[in-house]
């Protein structure tokens, strides 16, 4: 299934995109894939390589207003995979008011309802 990226921006340098085709919701809980783009090449480094894109598999709870990272993949500017991580014990953290995470949560909760069917 092809990604359908919807940009969610905050300020001039923070850009997060949500793959709308990845949203799967059951009740108040949704999982989805987001991609964070780093404007400054030194914002995020894995090993000695500069990360341009961080793809994040996330769980969101629309009722409790929390999000948890389930997995991440780091890519360079040419979309070469630098590293990946499966989060063993994902923590559901409240989103901060006014943050990019709050904007993403608002988008997911508005977009994800009604229930998206799994393929």
Q: Is residue 71 part of a domain?
A: yes
∠ Cα 23 43 21 (to 5°): 10
Q: Is residue 88 part of a domain?
A: yes
Alpha-carbon gap, residue 69 to 72, rounded angstroms: 8
Q: Which domain holds residue 11?
A: 5-112
CATH number at residue 85: 2.40.128.710
Reply yes or no: is the peptide bond before residue 26 cis, omega within 30 of 0. Answer: no
Q: Is residue 119 part of a domain?
A: no
The pair of structure tokens assigned to 7 is: 């940009």
How many domains does the structure of the chain reveal? 1
Q: Is residue 117 part of a domain?
A: no
Segment 11-69, tens digit of pLDDT? 666 688 999 999 999 999 999 999 988 776 666 666 677 788 889 999 999 999 999 99
Alpha-carbon gap, residue 14 to 31, rounded angstroms: 22
Q: Is residue 81 part of a domain?
A: yes
3 band by pLDDT with thresholds 50, 70 and 90: confident
pTM over 0.85: no
Q: Is residue 118 part of a domain?
A: no
Q: Is residue 108 part of a domain?
A: yes
């Amino acid at each position: 299934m092809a990604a359908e990226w919807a940009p969610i921006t905050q300020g001039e340098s923070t850009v997060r995109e949500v793959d709308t085709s990845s949203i799967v919701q059951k009740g108040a809980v949704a999982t989805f894939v987001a991609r964070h783009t780093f404007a400054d090449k030194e914002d995020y480094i894995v090993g000695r390589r500069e990360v341009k894109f961080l793809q994040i598999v996330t769980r969101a709870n629309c009722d409790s207003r929390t999000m948890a990272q389930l997995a991440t993949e780091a890519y360079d500017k040419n979309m070469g995979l630098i590293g990946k991580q499966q989060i063993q014990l994902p923590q559901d953290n409240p989103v901060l008011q006014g943050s990019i995470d709050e904007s993403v949560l608002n988008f997911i909760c508005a977009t994800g309802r009604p229930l998206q069917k799994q393929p």
